[in-house]
Amino acid sequence: MFQATKRVPPQVKALAEVRRTPFLAMNRAIIREKFTLLRRALPDVRVYYAIKANPHKRLIQMLHAMGAGFEVASEEEMNLVLGCGVSPKGIITSNPLKSESFIRAAYRAGVEYFAFDSYTEIDKLSLHAPGCKGYVRLVVSNEGSQWPLSKKFGVETADAIALLEYAAAHGIAPFGITFHVGSQCTNQTSWINAIKKSKAVWDSVRDKGIELKMLNIGGGFPIEYTTDSIPPMDELGKAIRRALNEQFPPETEIFAEPGRLIVGEAGTMVSTVVAKAKRDGENWLYLDVGVFTGLMESIGGIQYPFLTPKDGPQSPWVIAGPTCDSMDVIAKQVLLPELAVGDKVYIPSAGAYTTAYASRFNGFLLPRTYLY
């Protein structure tokens, strides 16, 4: 079981009195704080915000003003970023599975950086983005990650070397290596081992006459939810810096693609109780937000906190969303006081991978986003 608390930001309470739920309230001060924290922990790293975490336009504009670049995965994401005044030189495309139309559009727009992890991807880049700066996706351990990514993406060392050679022979400028330790990773050893593995590829291709310039350490930096014991960002940054200094020359360009770290803790999802029931001895509480309207990561293991301003004896509840799909269950064994239909439930640490996942399944409204 995990405990609900009663600390709700007053600005969020004020919004809840006048705005229709569900909605996401984003705290600008926390976004600035997290961006500054990352810059302090990894001062020599070029930050490219992964807009898949939360693509809200005003958020992009805010991060652009703070000096962030952006990682995009599709033509729509790219156009959104360009529309916010971002230079194409400040955009990277680390999705190694790009459509030909996206590659053409990005290349025409002036985007220079493209990831790959297959021969077919290199062939597409050679045809539609000749001379671009290509970087290979290396598969690394995702131990300690709550949302592993290693099975779908990346290649092992020998294949990474072969792909970089193939890219060089087909008109692509081999630029670097990228990896991802998995989302919400609490194991700093995963970054250290990934950096060492990347160096083995780096040295091998250098011996073949290919001089790489960039290492992209991805994202995966963890945030606080309920049960996670997460390393402080300054401690994690120190371990990463030490590994980079030991393995790579000082002129190496280091990229990172934070998403959750920047916006996760800045967001509070505000919802309303729409129904209650007792089934097989369990208390069920139904909210107007659920798996399909923003809380998709709950089915992958993310345990959100739940806040309520109500007092009283607490008991365990199953919390579910409003749709007619039985998968729409957000959490179980959540300790809450007795709530009534119409009461508000606040869900912190919901700024990342919530509204970006939301759909209109069953015709339910998408949560709107408000920055305060």
Tell me how crowded residue 76 is: count the other CB atoms within 10 A of its CB. Answer: 11
The HSE-up count of residue 157 (CA atoms within 13 Å, CB side) is 14
pLDDT of residue 4: 46
Residue 182 contacts residue 139 (beta carbons within 8 Å): no
Whether the per-residue pLDDT at 80 is higher than 60: the answer is yes
Per the domain annotation, does 74 fall within a domain? yes
- Of 211, 233, 258, the position where a domain reaches its end is 258
Whether the per-residue pLDDT at 180 is higher than 60: the answer is yes
Q: Based on the domain organization, do 110 and 215 belong to the same domain?
A: yes
Q: Based on the domain organization, do 67 and 160 belong to the same domain?
A: yes
Confidence of residue 5 (pLDDT cuts 50, 70, 90): very low
Q: Based on the domain organization, do 94 and 223 belong to the same domain?
A: yes
Per the domain annotation, does 35 fall within a domain? no
Per the domain annotation, does 315 fall within a domain? yes
Q: How far apart are CA 141 and CA 148, in angstroms?
A: 9
pLDDT of residue 228: 59
SS3 357: coil
Q: Based on the domain organization, do 119 and 235 belong to the same domain?
A: yes
Considering only CA atoms, give the Rg of the chain.
22
Q: Based on the domain organization, do 106 and 252 belong to the same domain?
A: yes
What value does the mean pLDDT of the chain take? Answer: 95
Catalytic residue positions, numbered? 324
pLDDT, one tens digit per residue, over 235-244 is 999 999 999 9
Q: Based on the domain organization, do 17 and 160 belong to the same domain?
A: no
Taking residues 189-193, what's their average pLDDT?
94
Number of folded domains that form the chain: 2
Q: Based on the domain organization, do 240 and 320 belong to the same domain?
A: no
Whether the per-residue pLDDT at 263 is higher than 80: the answer is yes
Q: Based on the domain organization, do 122 and 247 belong to the same domain?
A: yes
Tell me how crowded residue 212 is: count the other CB atoms within 10 A of its CB. Answer: 21
Q: Which residues pair with 364 in a beta bridge?
A: none
Q: Which residue has the higher pLDDT, 300 or 292?
A: 292
Phi–psi pair at 88, nearest 5 degrees: -60, -25
Range of the domain at 79: 55-258
Residue 49 structure tokens:
């915000």
Tell me how crowded residue 340 is: count the other CB atoms within 10 A of its CB. Answer: 8
Q: Based on the domain organization, do 272 and 213 belong to the same domain?
A: no
Q: What angle do CA 313, 314, 315 make, to 5 degrees?
A: 130
Per the domain annotation, does 121 fall within a domain? yes
CATH of the domain at 13: 2.40.37.10
- Which sign, positive or negative, has the C-alpha torsion 288, 294, 295, 296? positive
Q: Based on the domain organization, do 269 and 232 belong to the same domain?
A: no
pLDDT of residue 6: 47
- Which sign, positive or negative, has the C-alpha torsion 281, 286, 291, 295? negative
Confidence of residue 329 (pLDDT cuts 50, 70, 90): very high
Per the domain annotation, does 36 fall within a domain? no
pLDDT, one tens digit per residue, over 206-233 is 999 999 999 999 999 999 887 557 889 9
Per the domain annotation, does 46 fall within a domain? no
SS3 129: coil
Q: Based on the domain organization, do 64 and 209 belong to the same domain?
A: yes
Per the domain annotation, does 105 fall within a domain? yes
Residue 262 contacts residue 62 (beta carbons within 8 Å): no
Q: Where are the beta strands (DSSP E) in 94-186?
A: 113-116, 133-137, 145-147, 173-178, 183-185
CATH of the domain at 61: 3.20.20.10
Residue 293 φ/ψ region, left for φ over 0, alpha for ψ in the -120 to 50 degree band, beta for the rest: alpha
Residue 259 contacts residue 352 (beta carbons within 8 Å): yes
- Of 258, 284, 307, the position where a domain reaches its end is 258
Taking residues 175-180, what's their average pLDDT?
98
Q: How far from the centroid of its chain's Cα atoms is residue 188's Cα?
A: 17
Q: Based on the domain organization, do 198 and 298 belong to the same domain?
A: no
Burial status of residue 3 (CB atoms within 10 A of its CB: 0-12, 13-18, 19 or more): exposed
Per the domain annotation, does 299 fall within a domain? yes
Whether the per-residue pLDDT at 355 is higher than 90: the answer is yes
Burial status of residue 241 (CB atoms within 10 A of its CB: 0-12, 13-18, 19 or more): middle
Confidence of residue 3 (pLDDT cuts 50, 70, 90): very low
- Of 258, 273, 308, the position where a domain reaches its end is 258
pLDDT of residue 29: 98
